Structure 1
């Protein structure tokens, strides 16, 4: 679905505002900072603005604008799928490194840092592995060795070329799951117990002493009740605290930031508070998969501005809340959007009943939305004393 017609009026308004705000260069203001890329503006704060990359789009000769924006606007990149286990090892013992190698090489050409995503997750695991466990041909001891071998093989191959690894992803349940009390969930916890989390970090550290090692999850943007039985952020905080007490080399916690305009979401103070609390543990933080989806009602799909404009404004406010919270915490190292254009967004294919979309900062024609301009404004106008330079951590031994 192409939602183009309704964007035109908004773009005219943005362009007009930009023209009215433009002033001649002076000694005090040598240039208009809004002319600069997100990448350049964020580096003023030593913050990396990143995007997930769709490799099919990146290598499509008919889509040069996608490549241009990846290169120009972002200083870090994450592969959407190419570094996940099912992509790397579709058959046992046979790794297909081509797409992941091409992704890492492109990042190097563009002088971009790489977030490695993901080493251990219960989704997108190769079928040969899950089938082997299900039929009993792969037992517990062998499964643990397979996991160790996979982590060691992948991290060793890209040693020195990955800035942050998502070592373990989405290991914690949600309050609406059964049972409702928060717990360790999924394939790996079921078959290896929660101890696999500490093992994964230790194996990753042995394979690359220089990479930053992250735990990554969704719905941890702010604290709730403070009870780890039903507050996922508190559960993850306490898990990280306990891992550190055991000497596990965890360096950071990644908050995905998948939000929706139909929900009651966060303000920058709530977000900053959560990041500050993780920082007090000595951990780095990052927003790793930010998007803000909206319901594609009949009115939205028909191009009704009375339905579309409130959603665009709410989307921009949510991006703004997460970024301001990140800017307020010096240990928040990067802010990654999960795809930057509605042309190549995972949301419509996943959220289809009811349909959702409009989740990124550019429309399907690569025109920046209100969210893009608000992110840029945050980066332009933020500064001391409340926004301080990033604190660069050293990998934990």
Structure 2
């Protein structure tokens, strides 16, 4: 063998001895998918931000948001009680930070909420003498508030909850102050005012317990009336405050279909799953309800038992399977909080309890169901 042939043989041997990456090794080198990546071609996946997070006090929680979510909603800072506690004195400082965070991270920003019977400042319905205002004055205040807020974020906030929780569980309209002074027209007006302020924004009606047949029918009836009047309404938000045994998935699915059949976008909003016992039969999310603390109603003060954790993961995955089944109808799914520790479920309807209702635990670690959701989304 000559010298040149020896060099060629040596080169071949070196190449053949070089370790090849197996498919398993290649998979290990691949960056694991996050929720927003796995669901990217299905629907938006969002979460609610609280005031402390928006103010920068919990950077580790914001990192969870950046990595896993592509849509955000403000839990409280955009409600009228927070924005304008005193007549004519708007404070947009926190709301501006919230919107800036969404823009900086290329997220879809959802506005919550313009008109709601709860968390509305008392002055909204009173004159300078503390007397109830008349119909014309309330219309003027509604229009001014909606225009002030929506116009400020025109082109930045893409979707709005215009009216929140106006229908009772029996399907009739809630007799709120708005209803008392304006009748059912307050809903129509709110949507028209919002559309005038930003014609390009998508406008939603949002409510809880929409799986109850009577309530579902009441919302469908209300929306059809709005559509017949030419009112600009583009979607319905189904609040997902659910439990381990309510509602039935079949009823939740019926509501997705019923709202989609109206020609509207459907969003699953405020999604969380309580593992705690309920002190009453009502399955809703009426924030004014509260009950006295009793130890038996706080069964997991230190840790969630493995059996309950397994049941939670199954329940959550069942819902996401349903969402994926109807991905052609659902625009976004939004969790009501980033981790278990900052969920409102810990204090409602009984203060001082410890609940475990979200996808990330108190240490900001994803629960095992997150990997399961990613796996079924990839199929």
* Fold shared, TM-score > 0.5 on shorter chain: yes
Higher mean alpha-carbon deviation, 166-175 vs 271-280, is at 271-280
- The alpha-carbon deviation at position 312 of structure 1 amounts to 2.5
**SS at 2:347's partner residue?**
helix
- The alpha-carbon deviation at position 295 of structure 1 amounts to 1.5
Conservation of the 8 A alpha-carbon contact between 1:266 and 1:318: no
Give the direction of change, closer, same or farther, for the CA distance of 1:87–1:293 in structure 2 (3 Å limit).
same
- The alpha-carbon deviation at position 376 of structure 1 amounts to 2.4
CA distances 1:81-140 after superposition (whole Å, capped 9, x unpaired): 111101111111111111111100110001101010000000110122245499425222
**SS at 2:262's partner residue?**
coil
- The alpha-carbon deviation at position 323 of structure 1 amounts to 2.7
Give the direction of change, closer, same or farther, for the CA distance of 1:133–1:32 in structure 2 (3 Å limit).
farther
**SS at 1:278's partner residue?**
helix
**SS at 2:163's partner residue?**
strand
- The alpha-carbon deviation at position 358 of structure 1 amounts to 1.0
The answer to whether residue 193 in structure 2 is matched with residue 203 in structure 1 is yes
C-alpha RMSD of matched pairs (Å): 2.5
TM-score (norm 2): 0.82
Give the direction of change, closer, same or farther, for the CA distance of 1:302–1:154 in structure 2 (3 Å limit).
closer
- The alpha-carbon deviation at position 236 of structure 1 amounts to 0.7
Q: 2:152 aligns with which of 157, 176, 184?
A: 157
Within 2, Cα distance between the matches of 1:183 and 1:64?
Answer: 41
Match of 2:319 in 1: 322
Higher mean alpha-carbon deviation, 125-134 vs 202-211, is at 125-134
Conservation of the 8 A alpha-carbon contact between 2:134 and 2:181: no
Within 1, Cα distance between the matches of 2:362 and 2:254?
Answer: 35
Q: Which has the larger radius of gyration?
A: 2
Give the direction of change, closer, same or farther, for the CA distance of 1:133–1:167 in structure 2 (3 Å limit).
farther
Match of 2:259 in 1: 278
After TM superposition, the structure 1 = structure 2 runs for residues 85-164 of structure 1, keeping only pairs within 5 Å, are 85-132=80-127, 135-164=130-159
Give the direction of change, closer, same or farther, for the CA distance of 1:319–1:23 in structure 2 (3 Å limit).
farther
Within 2, Cα distance between the matches of 1:102 and 1:354?
Answer: 30
The answer to whether residue 365 in structure 2 is matched with residue 357 in structure 1 is no
Within 2, Cα distance between the matches of 1:199 and 1:316?
Answer: 42
The answer to whether residue 305 in structure 2 is matched with residue 312 in structure 1 is no
Within 1, Cα distance between the matches of 2:28 and 2:309?
Answer: 32
Conservation of the 8 A alpha-carbon contact between 1:184 and 1:194: no
Within 1, Cα distance between the matches of 2:340 and 2:241?
Answer: 15
Match of 1:218 in 2: 208
Match of 2:13 in 1: none
Match of 2:377 in 1: 379
Gap regions ≥5 residues in structure 1: 1-21, 176-180, 225-230, 382-397
Conservation of the 8 A alpha-carbon contact between 2:276 and 2:355: yes
Within 1, Cα distance between the matches of 2:313 and 2:363?
Answer: 18
After TM superposition, the structure 1 = structure 2 runs for residues 215-294 of structure 1, keeping only pairs within 5 Å, are 215-220=205-210, 222=211, 224=213, 231-261=214-244, 263-267=245-249, 269-294=250-275
Q: 1:41 aligns with which of 38, 41, 57?
A: 38
Give the direction of change, closer, same or farther, for the CA distance of 1:234–1:142 in structure 2 (3 Å limit).
same
Match of 2:333 in 1: 335
Within 1, Cα distance between the matches of 2:263 and 2:123?
Answer: 39
Q: 2:366 aligns with which of 355, 365, 368?
A: 368
Give the direction of change, closer, same or farther, for the CA distance of 1:132–1:318 in structure 2 (3 Å limit).
farther
Conservation of the 8 A alpha-carbon contact between 1:58 and 1:66: no
Conservation of the 8 A alpha-carbon contact between 2:260 and 2:266: yes
Q: 1:185 aligns with which of 145, 169, 175?
A: 175
Number of matched pairs: 338
CA distances 1:353-376 after superposition (whole Å, capped 9, x unpaired): 694611111111112123433332
Within 2, Cα distance between the matches of 1:25 and 1:44?
Answer: 27
Within 1, Cα distance between the matches of 2:271 and 2:302?
Answer: 27
